[in-house]
Amino acid sequence: MRAGSAPGLFWLNGFRSVMAGSKASHLDALGAAQGLAVTRFDYSGHGLSGGAFEHGTISRWLEEAAAVLALTEGPQVVCGSSMGGWIALLLARRQLALGRPLAGLVLIAPAVDATAALIPRRISPDQQRDLDHKGWFETPSAYADGPYRYTRALLDDGATHLLMSGVIETGCPVHILQGAEDSDVPAAHSRALLSHILHDPVTYTLVPDGDHRLSRPQDLALLERAVLALALPGARP
């Protein structure tokens, strides 16, 4: 946690990503430059945190995010990448119900409802057999050392947190950053998300040549502008 003024910047990693990643580190540097508090952490089973990755579920990681958020002071702009975007929306809904809405949301290629809308569509017959008999299957990853492992517990638990079956209430302004060349969370998925956020202002930025990571210098500059527009209106990166 970086000390600073409010609104603080609160980072949520994607699946198998860590708080030392390029986007999270860039957000930390932005907070330092602007004198804003910054919070980033690793979910259990990720990075520097203990626990087995295979025991992770959306419920577990959401509770961890809520526990860390409770340690912050003042309003927060929550930034979530991929799976972190899904957890960010769940966290926003929870904070709104508590009467403590977030100051804003920045969602990068948000993998909302991924366990129902994205992952199952890509399971091969061999992977389905592994899931049925072993309780997990693996798939190659371009973003981590070794394959990603998806467990039955993760998929079943995700079904209890689906958002895109109704209106999503955030209680704050939302900015979505999406790469048009993203094959993991297609642009069509984030566009569908727009139709569920009906009561809060949403800005949607499509990066024509952007991939899932959106970690190039020009992508990080877009992230800066989106964050500052919510945290410090009128500021320039």
Give the Cα separation of 219 and 177 in Å (integer): 9
Residue 121 placed within a domain: no
Show Cβ contacts of residue 64 under 8 Å, excluding neighbours closer than 6 positions.
Answer: 41, 43, 44
Q: Find, among 74, 82, 76, 80, the residue nearest to 104 by Cα.
A: 76
Residues 203-215: tens digit of each pLDDT: 999 999 999 999 9
The Cα–Cα gap between 159 and 146 comes to 26
DSSP-derived letter for residue 167 is P
Q: Could you tell me the pTM of the whole model?
A: 0.94
In this structure, what CATH number is given to the domain that contains residue 95?
3.40.50.1820
Confirm if 15 and 82 have CB atoms less than 8 A apart. yes
Whose structure tokens read 């089973």? 45
pLDDT tens per residue, range 153-193: 999 999 999 999 999 999 999 999 999 999 999 999 999 99
What range does the domain containing 181 cover? 5-112+166-231
pLDDT band at residue 87 using 50, 70 and 90 as cut-offs: very high
Residue 117 is assigned to a structural domain of this protein: no
pLDDT on residue 48: 73
Average pLDDT estimate for 131-152: 86
User: Per the structure, how many domains does the chain have?
Assistant: 1
